[in-house]
Amino acid sequence: MASHILQSTIREGDQVILKKDKNIRVVQVHKTRLVWMEKVKFTLDAVIGQPFGGWYEVKGQKLVKVSRRTLCEKGGSFLNSVVT
């Protein structure tokens, strides 16, 4: 009998859901690949090895992990990665 372990961190090749305001996209995670969302481009390198369900902000074409509270205080846009 094979044991099944649920993956809790994002790996290259996984799919994540990106959400910014009302826009939602499903993308596959690959190192150095640029992703476009609205008029913003960035890589998903920062999410590799991170747990699913994180909140990120785009800074200089890179994602930076932030807390929901920080985003609310800044009133900024965010990207949310979650398991598909």
Q: Residues 13-54: pLDDT tens digits?
A: 999 988 887 888 999 999 999 999 888 899 999 999 998 888
> Is 80 exceeded by the pLDDT of residue 6?
no
Average pLDDT, the chain: 78
Q: Residue 84 has what pLDDT? A: 30
pLDDT band at 4 (very low <50, low <70, confident <90, very high): very low
As a whole number of angstroms, the distance between CA 77 and CA 84 comes to 21
| Residue 1 located in a structural domain | no
- Number of independent structural domains in the chain: 1
| Residue 78 located in a structural domain | yes
Q: Residue 83 has what pLDDT? A: 32
Kindly tell me the burial class for residue 30, based on how many C-beta atoms sit within 10 Å of its own C-beta (0-12, 13-18, 19 or more): middle
| Residue 52 located in a structural domain | yes
The helix/strand/coil state of 68 is helix
As a whole number of angstroms, the distance between CA 52 and CA 50 comes to 7
Q: Residue 14 has what pLDDT? A: 93
- The per-residue DSSP string of 37-66 comes to ETTEEEE-GGGTTSBTT-EEEEETTEEEEE
- Domain of 35? 15-83
| Residue 65 located in a structural domain | yes
